[in-house]
Structure 1
Amino acid sequence: MAVGPLVRPYRIGCNGPVKRLHPAWLVAAVAFVALVGAAGFRATPGVLIHPLHDEFGWSLGTISLAVSINLLLFGLTAPFAAALMERFGIRRVVAYALLLVSAGSGLTVFMKHSWELIALWGVLVGLGTGSMALAFVATVTGRWFVERRGLVTGVLTAGGAAGQLVFLPLLALLTEAHGWRSAALTVAGAALAVVPLVMWRLRDHPADLNVAPYGSADVVPAPVATGGAARRAVGALRTAAGRPAFWLLAGGFAICGATTNGLIGTHFIPAAHDHGMAEPTAASLLALIGLFDIAGTIASGWLTDRMDSRVLLGWYYALRGLSLLVLPMLFAATVRPSMLVFILFYGLDWVATVPPTVALCREYFGASGPVVFGWVFASHQFGAAIAATATGLLRDRLGNYDLAWYIAGGLSIGAAALSLLLFRTRRSAPAPTAAPAAVPA
């Protein structure tokens, strides 16, 4: 059903007609805020590892296990959350996810035993953040945008980095001044505060407002939910697993997770602390990674709209590997210029891999792309979970993190090779569905 221009005029006073912003941009803005609200927990583990160790006597391996379970559930929940969004709507799933994050973080102030840390940090927050994972980004961009998909994917992905940027230095200062419980309650309050905005302004589908997706001239009817969410998610996996492209994307993304959330996100602050650096200073460096990540991911989204995503992934992984190989030589009690160069470079590359990976899932798997990306993202978190625990165990056994950095560097270079192997599967990929004609917006 064709509609008129996507930007409709209306009057304000005597100033004549003005253009109204397409509602897709408002939905994207609310999704960005929701991602920021849920991202506070991502900044928490690195800040709280040593305070929890000092208060309860738990080993770094035990604390890292809780983080690993969180990361694993974070990934495994994503494809089912994408299917749940198809079944029950984006707004409802995101609101419940934020409530889980708030409950899991807030209840930690009452824990006494390590199994409670695993249940709250690992299970509750893992399920909540998993429902707010990057499959959520793929669902929003797939429904609301025909044009600018890569750019919007980059901006929304940067929402997690923005959350880390906002929370990390604050949580480090709160932990140092008032103890780790104040940081946990701050994360809980931030996630809870976003819920009313989500219920008020987030919309499930453009057809709910009788508008076309941004860049299209046709109103697309909202899909009719059929079957269970679990069946939808498992069916998408079964179909995708029969194609080599899925395993190449999942393998590369598993290494991506191991070298970001699992390694740097969890262990950078303790590693810097081992070299005499104050934790607030190390937390500020990690926050700078989040700052540069915003620019890098948005730029990656812009490039994804213009370049072959396979080439982009190859470059991203190769350069990440080289930077990790030199990282052990950069740690010191004070911040040196060489460390700042690493922070700048690694920040630009942090999740720049997401926009091209989402685009490739859409290219290879069509309408099932968001759910398939949920499974690819599950591999990301599986790699992160293994790296978080393995790195903690290496630190307990060897007394330093050097070997972990070298292994991660080699794996990243291997991920670059996997990405370039995607060119061998390119001819068998289905042709992308032609997009409806674009109209000014």
Structure 2
Amino acid sequence: MSGERTAAPATRSRVLTGAALGLVGGFTTTFLASAGQFVRPITGEFGWGRAEMSLVVVSATIGSAIGSPFAGRLVPRFGSRSLLVFSGALLAAAFVAFAVAPGEPAYFAVLAFFTGLLTVGTTPAVLLAVVPRFFDRRLGLALGAVMGGAAVGTALLQVVIGSTLADLGWRSTYLLLAGVAVVFLGVAALLGFPPGTGPRPDAKTAPQDGPAVREALRWPRLPLLLGAVFLAAIGTAGAAAHFVPFVIDQGIDPQAAAGASAVAGIGVAAGRLVTGALLDRVAATRLGGVVFLIAAAGLVVAAALPPSPVAVYAICAFAGSFAFGAEADLVPFLVRRYVGARAYTAVLGIGIGVFTLGGALGTIMFGLVFDGFGSYGPALSAAAAALAGATVVLRFLGPYRYPDATGPVPSPSGATVDAPARRAG
């Protein structure tokens, strides 16, 4: 029997609310999602190229990519709450260190690397670890609620960051982010971990299907799943990190660009909510492919446009950010349905690490292309090609290996197949 059937509604609500609040205050939102708004202020003050600032973001994402698989293995030993508290304190301290930083690229890069490495406890690799214990039949909807709620908070936070940057400068904005991390992560730690969210799941209520970690890692199609995640991250994360400077380069006022960034944030929220609601009804491989192709079209249009009104770029950003949001739901959902419950946290950590690594490559690609060509056009085209590649790879995963056991589920062909009985732990 699953925790979805036995846990009280208030308990399940606490799990979802705590995860969403933790994601808003965590590394992915406060550092990575806001990085694009810091590009011009910091490079302008220190006289850096954008590739140097991109290296800072890449250092952080590489640190996070390295740390995420370890976080996935530490959750069963220490629990999500302990990792959240530890990483949250370090994240707040890191923002203070950025606020007093000298104009040395090496200082920024090293600090960013250790920020990403040591704050993985505030990322989806940890905060989404317990969700499948309480939601299995409606896992897609639960993931969409968590990630969608976090995206709304992210969109609002981007507006606040843009205003603070304009009024007080980047150093004060980093101090603001330190406070955001303390408040949101503190509330998440207090609220979001009711009984049943400890280091090990309750064998009587939590799903126990699927192989152990070592066997799961030998699944022949796991590289395909991770490859699709990697390609989609290249296509979405790099464009997201450079969206604000790209729009400003088209002659748009910085504050208007921040407003367009908020539209992108709404696209992320919509992608997470809509995708989450559909994942329980539509095959994830088909849904992901459609979303990625729409995003690729938006990137191609943005690359081909002459300087246009900000609303046009906002529409393109919405399409790309919708896919970015959708992938946040797709990664944990695909891991759960193809790997099972027993190895879920470990493989999810690897999946999040692959996603951040792809995002790092995409981010530095955009910076290098701009410094080399004086334009983001070739990078936008390459990102669209990566998304198209992810669409193709998804089609080779086949039907779910561990679907919800309560009823029929869609296969990638669109037909339904009978759900097999859960394997014993």
Q: What TM-score, normalized to structure 1?
A: 0.82
1:342 paired to 2:303: no
1:35 paired to 2:23: yes
Specify the code of the residue in structure 2 equivalent to 1:357: V
Asked if the contact 1:328–1:402 (Cα under 8 Å) also holds between the matched residues in 2, the reply is yes
Asked if the contact 2:148–2:273 (Cα under 8 Å) also holds between the matched residues in 1, the reply is yes
In the aligned structure 2, how far is the partner of 1:2 from the partner of 1:364? 18
In the aligned structure 2, how far is the partner of 1:142 from the partner of 1:358? 9
Deviations 1:349-393 (A, max 9, x none): 222123333222122211212321221221111111111112211
1:104 paired to 2:99: no
Counterpart secondary structure, 1:352: helix
Aligned match of 1:15: none
Aligned length: 398
Call closer, same or farther: CA 1:163–1:348 in 2, change over 3 Å. Answer: same
Structure 1, 185-194 or 33-42: larger mean CA deviation: 33-42
2:239 to 256, 264, 271: 264
Aligned-residue Cα RMSD (Å) equals 2.8
In the aligned structure 2, how far is the partner of 1:161 from the partner of 1:200? 21
In the aligned structure 2, how far is the partner of 1:324 from the partner of 1:334? 16
Call closer, same or farther: CA 1:139–1:435 in 2, change over 3 Å. Answer: farther
Cα shift at 1:434: 3.8
Call closer, same or farther: CA 1:343–1:386 in 2, change over 3 Å. Answer: closer
1:250 to 221, 226, 230: 226
Call closer, same or farther: CA 1:289–1:221 in 2, change over 3 Å. Answer: closer
Deviations 1:294-319 (A, max 9, x none): 12211111111111111112212222
Asked if the contact 2:130–2:197 (Cα under 8 Å) also holds between the matched residues in 1, the reply is no
In the aligned structure 1, how far is the partner of 2:96 from the partner of 2:282? 44
Specify the code of the residue in structure 1 equivalent to 2:369: L
1:146 paired to 2:121: no
Deviations 1:113-169 (A, max 9, x none): 222111223322x12543222223441212222332111111222344234212212
Counterpart secondary structure, 1:192: helix
In the aligned structure 1, how far is the partner of 2:404 from the partner of 2:138? 16
1:395 paired to 2:370: yes
1:122 paired to 2:113: yes
Aligned match of 1:172: 162
Structure 1, 23-32 or 362-371: larger mean CA deviation: 362-371
Structure 2, unaligned stretches of length 5 or more? Answer: 408-420
Specify the code of the residue in structure 2 equivalent to 1:277: I
In the aligned structure 2, how far is the partner of 1:134 from the partner of 1:120? 21
The percentage of aligned residue pairs carrying the same residue is 25
1:21 paired to 2:9: yes
Asked if the contact 2:236–2:321 (Cα under 8 Å) also holds between the matched residues in 1, the reply is no
Cα shift at 1:6: 4.7
In the aligned structure 2, how far is the partner of 1:53 from the partner of 1:255? 28
Asked if the contact 1:44–1:184 (Cα under 8 Å) also holds between the matched residues in 2, the reply is no
Structure 1, 284-293 or 339-348: larger mean CA deviation: 339-348
Alignment of 1:73-112 (within 5 A): 73-112=63-102
Aligned match of 2:126: 136
Aligned match of 1:65: 55
Deviations 1:400-439 (A, max 9, x none): 111000111111111100011112xx4xx745574699xx
1:275 paired to 2:275: no
1:287 to 262, 271, 288: 262
Call closer, same or farther: CA 1:259–1:283 in 2, change over 3 Å. Answer: farther
In the aligned structure 2, how far is the partner of 1:190 from the partner of 1:202? 17
Aligned match of 1:362: 336
